[in-house]
Structure 1
Amino acid sequence: MTQQQFNDGLLEFIDSSVTPFQAVTTMVDALVAAGFNRLDEGDSWQLERGRGYYITRNDSSIIAFRYGNKSELVHGVRMVGAHTDSPCLRVKPNPDLRKHGYLQLGVEVYGGALLNPWFDRDLSLAGRASLTNSEGRLISVMVDFKRAIAVIPSLAIHLDRDANSKRTVNKQTDIPPVLALIEEDDDLNFDGILSQQVELDNPGVKVGKILDWELSFYDTQPAAITGLKQQFVSAARLDNLLSCYTGLQSLLGAGEEVTSLLVCNDHEEVGSNSAAGAQGPMLKHLLQRLFPKPEDFARVIERSMMISADNAHAIHPNYSDKHDGNHGPKINAGPVIKINTNQRYATNSETAALYRHLSDQVGVPVQSFVVRSDMGCGSTIGPITATELGVRTMDIGVPTFGMHSIREMGGVEDAFGLSRVCKAFFDTENLPWC
């Protein structure tokens, strides 16, 4: 695969993966097309060496793996982890707001969203809805309006002269999106709007009663290659769909000798504390089923490694003082090893050295990021996975601008480079500690 082919696929993947539910659906489609087989966590499993398998949980988290021909007791498991969720605006359970002739929806902020960029964007809505159908059966379905159905209008500067210096965003009152103009006797409501869309998106489904939903607004502007020299990738949800796609392509290209695994968890942006999150037992349960004897499990973990892939902060030319002077990653200068001595990242010298060695072998540059000593540091699924499993782990990320904005920006070279290193990692039969 060329860099251009990789990036074309990345743009398509991001545009189709507008929520974690759609992201998992998109990954499942790619896995099935590559011959991977679905496993149900409630069934007994009969696995064959050399084949690919996957499980999903909550429709929003996924683990896919190639069950290698060589013994994991000797060679361990190669793991790459990412997350499917991004900061966004979620529709509340009783969302209908009718004010001054406008229909609006109440929303809740999911994760640490950068809110100002959400204003004046063409927004659509997608996710999962649960309902009874015309036969009274309880089902859950995917929903995606796809078209622009809402906007959060800014307050004109004429009415807020301090907007450019002092404006703040009230999460309760300032961000309900506007959907329509309505008359006083108009009975238009969200239940009816959603019921109609469910039936449009799911032919053959007749809605009896909408019972609940997990729906997120998203920007309808497509992902794009941008810049005067076409050097940048601009898109929503680069954090962290970029890593999901990178891990997926690496897994699809991996060989069949060593067991290789991709885990993409939901709920990272809100702490990972869920059955489908990295703090939950999903990955551990799968590995325990592959290696049910406690001694075998411990031996496999000792010979394994996890690469936690989540975007890094590129040094911003307008705010360079926000970085440590010696650790300001640049876009298109290579993936970034993320290091924090207080274990906000799971990287240690041993795992970082292996990554640097693999990068040298495939000719991909590498950078380092350490947060300023006087600033707080974010975290990833890396330390959580290391704690839950006891597996050697490192944190890596592609440098980006605008993290947690409605539209983020990275480089055309970095994700492709990371995919090459991850594929080399998947294909490495003997780690130094094996």
Structure 2
Amino acid sequence: MRTPSGPFDRGHTEDLMSFLAASPSPYHAVASAAERLEKAGFRQVEETDAWDGTTGGKYVLRGGAIVAWYVPESASPHTPFRIVGAHTDSPNLRVKPQPDAGAHGWRQVAVEIYGGPLLNSWLDRDLGLAGRLSLRDGTSRLVNIDRPLLRVPQLAIHMDRNVPTDGLKLDKQKHMQPIWGLGDDVDEGDLIRFLEEETGLAEGEVTGWDLMTYSVEPPAYLGRDRELVAGPRMDNLLSVHAATAALTAVAAGDDLPYIPVLAAFDHEENGSQSDTGADGPLLGSVLERSVFARGGSYEDRARAFAGTVCLSSDTGHAVHPNYAERHDPTHHPRANGGPILKVNVNNRYATDGAGRSVFAAACEKAGVPFQSFVSNNAMPCGTTIGPITAARHGIKTVDIGVAILSMHSVRELCGADDPYLLANALVAFLEG
């Protein structure tokens, strides 16, 4: 492994593990990122306020999304942006509007399937509960019950003898409702009253909620030489963490030819169509307001967007040793082989040849190796926020990321070196 020339080493990976543990929901993830930005001198600006053209680091929070940017003193109204895009959400089990359920002496929590989780990975896990509580006074409060609270119990093999031959078959409605206690009667309002008590709120103060389950098992090094990391929500908090670290690193210098931007969106796992998703207006609004706040015109906005490049950073697939035939035979990304360039000629990824050159130049500057990923022609290809960003804003976009195993599992697996290799490449990209 080459030593990268950027600021990050294995300590970045250990910091990633702390970030994952502190970010059980998109709302916690943006709060964690904002805290790091604040320590680096960034300040929050409200969307409802008038913006000025002052230089320095700024960020906007909206629900589970964050957009942060740094304006150098040399920036003109038509200075292009360098954007790293990512997403804060991960597939999981989310609490329904009427959460209290149960049967046969068990108390349960009614959940809905969010995104495309590997359902079997959620069975027999100790689950916590986290998210956002909306209060009667119009404010909100983050909540995190970081202890074993719920569990989705698997049916014993003695009652499902066909599993060894037919495989496990799970009904999303009947089989994925977690238990969290004992009781013969469904107690309406029980879960929310419990959360009010846990967060020091008065009974009846919570009038809305966005809650989700998560595995309370912490991230950990894995392997003989600790060369792997196992942990939750790497898709895609690994990229959110790397982009946050890269933005704060480049903001230490003020001779940047571009305006570096972090754009981490919610709802990628279910299509990005929300006010906090990549298919919403948030990024375009922030970029335009930044141009206009610096005295720019629509012509300046057009010039800035025309010179802008976005790296859409999301996890991808490392070659699986037990299923190598599912991969393209000539493209086998490996753990600790460096970030991957994701290509699909049918625009499931936004990368083209010119975009490849931009990323290759950043990796060369950072002293970081990179790999290429394409899907097997016989397999459908996933997608990212990359094509959405390119089409919605007319911005040159390149899809990249880190190769992992077990994507969409409650615990995913990556090489321990790849997170800091990605972060060093992002620094070089943002620096131009």
TM-score normalised to structure 2 length: 0.94
- Listed as ranges, the matches of 1:84-163 within 5 Å are 84-132=88-136, 137-163=137-163
Which fold has the larger relative contact order, with Cα–Cα distance below 8 Å and residues 6 or more apart in sequence? 2
Deviation at 1:23, TM superposition (A): 0.5
Aligned to 1:8: 14
- Listed as ranges, the matches of 1:67-82 within 5 Å are 67-71=71-75, 75-82=79-86
Root-mean-square deviation over aligned CA pairs:
1.4
Aligned to 1:432: none
Counterpart contact for 1:73–1:303, Cα < 8 Å: no
Q: Deviations over 1:359-403 (max 9, x none)?
A: 122211110001011111111011100111111110001000000
Counterpart contact for 2:311–2:397, Cα < 8 Å: yes
Q: Distance in 2 between matches of 1:150 and 1:303?
A: 49
Deviation at 1:72, TM superposition (A): 5.0
- Partner of 1:416: helix, strand, or coil? helix
Q: Deviations over 1:233-286 (max 9, x none)?
A: 100100000000000000010033331000000000000000110000000001
Counterpart contact for 2:27–2:132, Cα < 8 Å: yes
Deviation at 1:426, TM superposition (A): 1.1
Deviation at 1:172, TM superposition (A): 0.3
Q: Distance in 2 between matches of 1:183 and 1:44?
A: 55
Q: Deviations over 1:299-333 (max 9, x none)?
A: 00111100000001000000000001111100001
Counterpart amino acid of 2:385?
Answer: I
* Structure 1 unmatched ranges of 5 or more: 429-434
1:270 partnered with 2:274:
no
* Structure 2 unmatched ranges of 5 or more: 1-6
Q: Distance in 1 between matches of 2:76 and 2:13?
A: 33
1:227 partnered with 2:223:
yes
Residue among 248, 254, 257 paired with 1:256:
254
Q: Distance in 2 between matches of 1:43 and 1:15?
A: 33
Q: Distance in 2 between matches of 1:92 and 1:422?
A: 38
Aligned to 1:295: 299
Q: Distance in 1 between matches of 2:79 and 2:217?
A: 45
Residue among 5, 26, 31 paired with 2:32:
26
1:381 partnered with 2:389:
no
Aligned to 1:371: 375
Counterpart contact for 2:235–2:407, Cα < 8 Å: yes
1:413 partnered with 2:420:
no
Aligned to 2:354: 350
1:198 partnered with 2:196:
yes
Aligned to 2:4: none
Q: Is the alpha carbon distance of 1:384 and 1:72 closer, same or farther for their aligned partners in structure 2, counting shifts above 3 Å? A: farther
Aligned to 1:177: 178
Q: Deviations over 1:26-59 (max 9, x none)?
A: 111111111111100010012322x10000112x
Deviation at 1:163, TM superposition (A): 1.3
Higher mean displacement: 141-150 or 287-296: 287-296
- Partner of 2:413: helix, strand, or coil? strand
Q: Distance in 2 between matches of 1:69 and 1:346?
A: 32
Residue among 223, 229, 238 paired with 1:242:
238
Counterpart amino acid of 1:315?
Answer: V
Counterpart amino acid of 1:193?
Answer: L
Q: Distance in 2 between matches of 1:406 and 1:17?
A: 14
Aligned to 1:431: none
- Partner of 1:365: helix, strand, or coil? coil
Counterpart contact for 2:78–2:301, Cα < 8 Å: no
1:43 partnered with 2:49:
yes
Counterpart contact for 2:196–2:206, Cα < 8 Å: no
Q: Distance in 2 between matches of 1:97 and 1:193?
A: 10
Residue among 38, 62, 69 paired with 1:57:
62
- Partner of 1:374: helix, strand, or coil? coil
Q: Deviations over 1:210-232 (max 9, x none)?
A: 32211000000001111111011
Q: Distance in 2 between matches of 1:325 and 1:126?
A: 41
Aligned to 2:3: none
Q: Distance in 1 between matches of 2:192 and 2:286?
A: 35
Q: Is the alpha carbon distance of 1:326 and 1:275 closer, same or farther for their aligned partners in structure 2, counting shifts above 3 Å? A: same
Counterpart amino acid of 1:111?
Answer: G
Q: Is the alpha carbon distance of 1:351 and 1:73 closer, same or farther for their aligned partners in structure 2, counting shifts above 3 Å? A: farther
Counterpart contact for 1:332–1:414, Cα < 8 Å: yes
Counterpart amino acid of 1:234?
Answer: A
- Partner of 1:35: helix, strand, or coil? coil
Q: Distance in 2 between matches of 1:33 and 1:194?
A: 34
Q: Distance in 2 between matches of 1:74 and 1:140?
A: 37
Identity %: 39
Aligned to 1:359: 363
1:323 partnered with 2:327:
yes
Q: Distance in 2 between matches of 1:335 and 1:165?
A: 38
- Partner of 1:142: helix, strand, or coil? strand
TM-score normalised to structure 1 length: 0.93
Counterpart contact for 2:148–2:216, Cα < 8 Å: yes
Deviation at 1:70, TM superposition (A): 2.7
Q: Distance in 2 between matches of 1:68 and 1:155?
A: 59
Aligned to 1:215: 211
